[in-house]
Amino acid sequence: MPKAPAVLMVFTGGTISMKIVPGRGAVPARGGQEILDQVPELRALASITCEDFDRLPGPHWTVERMFALARHLDARLAGDDFAGAVVTHGTDTLEETAYLLDLVLATNRPVVLTGAMKTADDPAWDGPANLADSVRAVTASGDREAGVAVMMGGTLHAARRVVKSHTEAPDAFTSAGDGPRLRERIETERLEPRVDLVTACAGCDGKFLRHAVGTGARGIVLEAFGSGNVPPAMLEGVKEAVAAGVCVVVASRCGDGATAPRYGYPGGGVTLKDAGAIFAGRLPGPKARIKLMVLLGAGAPPAMIRASFENPGS
């Protein structure tokens, strides 16, 4: 009888670990082994090694903790002990952690992130199915360059494309954009945390851009309208930020599609490009922020940052 593949399962918290406390709502309560004990069918799929890395709700994650998780996974997957890893995570920030891991992990072994939309004391708990599907995805993966993936609701998504598009549906995660691309890796020993996200809305001006610059931001991701356009009063804020040496990356508020300099009116994409802004392509704002943190942390010069965002393969 063939030996079962070995899979590292790293628990970090999230709804999959929570229970409902009367008067408080859902809170983290269960460690990894407690969760595994409720999913005995996993034993038939793989030899599981359980580790508790954290017990955090999704909104409590920081980029520093995400980076620490990346270093932990690289250390644990460096040898031949495991076919790959499954990581449980709170769904609110799961796509950001997955994308950061996709950018910075050195390992070629498959890493799949998953979680749950329902707590374990809910009759509709989706944790067991997501865990089982994730283990199957790790053990079946033959593409060492496929990058980090997210498994939710029976569907496997590439980390660089996945978004949480519904607040509570079991199939809340969808893949925006075009088909799979080669993984982009960025070697770095640190992240630059001083990157802000500013969203454009009708009639807004440059005050939040100026505030970001004034409080020490080294980068700003601007969530613009459509393909990359902002109200005319925001254009001056972009010019001032670039003149101050702050990298400005333009993403879109839209759920799908790429940013590009197409419109020439004041605040249109052409004028943002002329002001020195970089366009994020298909990356949504939160992921563009993650990528800019990684690039700035790696000490990438402006030309390299621009090429990384604006190259269609990125």
List active site positions. 15
- CA distances, 309 to each of 24, 133, 265 (Å): 42, 32, 23
Give the three-state DSSP class for 5.
coil
Amino acid 180: pLDDT = 54
Q: Could you tell me how many helices (H) and strands (E) the chain has, helices first?
A: 9, 14
* Of the candidates 64, 118, 125, 59, the residue with the CA atom closest to the CA atom of residue 94: 59
Predicted TM-score (pTM) of the model is 0.95
Q: For 226-274, what is the HEC assignment?
A: CCCECCHHHHHHHHHHHHCCCEEEEEECCCCCCCCCCCCCCCCHHHHHH
Instruction: Give the residue-averaged pLDDT of 162-185.
Output: 85
Amino acid 243: pLDDT = 98
Domain spanning 6-175: CATH 3.40.50.1170: yes
Amino acid 314: pLDDT = 42
For residue 179, is pLDDT > 90?
no
Rounded mean pLDDT of the chain?
94
Amino acid 143: pLDDT = 64
CB atoms within 10 A of CB 67: 22
Q: Name the least confident of 34-38, 59-63, 165-169, 309-313.
A: 309-313
Evaluate whether 27 touches 59 at the Cβ level (below 8 Å): no
Amino acid 181: pLDDT = 59
Which residue bears the tokens 């390992």? 107
Structure tokens at 131: 């865990």
Residues 222-253 have pLDDT tens digits of 999 999 999 999 999 999 999 999 999 999 99
pLDDT confidence band for 141 (50 / 70 / 90): confident
- CA distances, 9 to each of 73, 94, 289 (Å): 10, 16, 28
Residues 280-313 have pLDDT tens digits of 999 999 999 999 999 999 999 999 999 999 984 5
Architecture of the domain made up of 195-310: 3-Layer(aba) Sandwich (3.40)
Going from N- to C-terminal start, the domains of the chain cover 6-175, 195-310
For residue 206, is pLDDT > 60?
yes
The separation between the first and the last C-alpha atoms of the chain, rounded to the nearest angstrom, is 43
For residue 260, is pLDDT > 50?
yes
Report d(CA 285, CA 18) in Å as an integer. 28
Q: Name the least confident of 142-146, 172-176, 209-213, 268-272.
A: 142-146
Instruction: Give the residue-averaged pLDDT of 117-143.
Output: 92
Amino acid 3: pLDDT = 80
For residue 161, is pLDDT > 50?
yes
Query: In this structure, what are the phi and psi dihedrals at residue 85, rounded to the nearest 5 degrees?
Result: -135, 145
Q: Which residues contact 222 (CB under 8 A, 6 or more apart)?
A: 198, 199, 200, 209, 230, 234, 238, 248, 249, 250, 251, 277
Q: Do domains 6-175 and 195-310 have the same CATH topology?
A: yes
Report d(CA 184, CA 311) in Å as an integer. 11
Amino acid 142: pLDDT = 67
Looking only at the bridges linking them, the beta strands covering 111-114 and 18-21 are: unpaired
For residue 117, is pLDDT > 90?
yes
For residue 43, is pLDDT > 80?
yes
Which residue bears the tokens 């939160």? 286
